[in-house]
Amino acid sequence: MIDRLNQFCILPFYLTAILNIFDCFRFYNILKELSNKVINKRVALCELRANSEVLIGFILIIGIFFSVNSFLLPIFYWQFLRFKYIFNSDTSLSFGRLNSLVNKYKSKLPSPLRFIVNKIQQVCEFLGKTEANPGERAGGSNCLIF
Higher pLDDT, residue 9 or 129 = 9
Residue 55's pLDDT is 86
**pLDDT surpassing 70 at residue 37:** yes
pTM over 0.75: no
Q: Quick check: 91 and 84 in contact, CB under 8 A?
A: yes
Q: pLDDT digits over 108-136, tens only?
A: 888 888 888 888 777 777 666 655 555 55
Q: How many helices (H) and strands (E) does the chain have?
A: 7, 0
**Number of C-beta neighbours around residue 14 at 10 A:** 12
CA dihedral 44, 45, 51, 53 (to 10 degrees): -160
**Number of C-beta neighbours around residue 63 at 10 A:** 17
